[in-house]
């Protein structure tokens, strides 16, 4: 079953608070291994969910909780 949603995270705007990881009901967000230009560990969208993971549903919880407004949510039509 393909994911119903997709998010885009602005790496340079993200300050690494990782609130989005906490609120994501499908664990579709992880910490990026590379730092951004400001030295933060930004969040990163899991493009390909592993076996057994549901994938992004487009619920917008991550975008709502992000204090830096660094996340855009897209829903599949």
Domain tally for the chain?
1
Task: Tell me the torsion sign for CA atoms 48, 69, 13, 33.
Answer: negative
What's the confidence (pLDDT) of residue 1? 54
Q: Per residue in 4-39, pLDDT tens?
A: 899 999 999 999 999 999 999 999 999 999 999 999
Give the integer Cα–Cα distance in Å for 45 and 58.
12
According to DSSP, the β-strands at 43-45 and 29-31 are: antiparallel
pTM: 0.90
Q: Which domain holds residue 60?
A: 5-75
CATH number of the domain enclosing 40: 3.30.70.20
Q: Per residue in 51-77, pLDDT tens?
A: 888 899 999 999 999 999 999 999 987
């Amino acid at each position: 079953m393909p994911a119903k949603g997709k998010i885009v995270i602005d790496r340079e705007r993200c300050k690494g608070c990782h609130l989005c990881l906490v609120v994501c009901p499908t664990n579709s967000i992880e910490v990026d291994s590379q730092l951004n230009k400001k030295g933060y560990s930004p969040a990163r969208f899991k493009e390909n969910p592993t076996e057994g993971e549901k994938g992004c549903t487009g619920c917008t919880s991550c975008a709502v909780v992000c204090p830096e407004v660094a996340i855009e949510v897209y829903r599949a039509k």
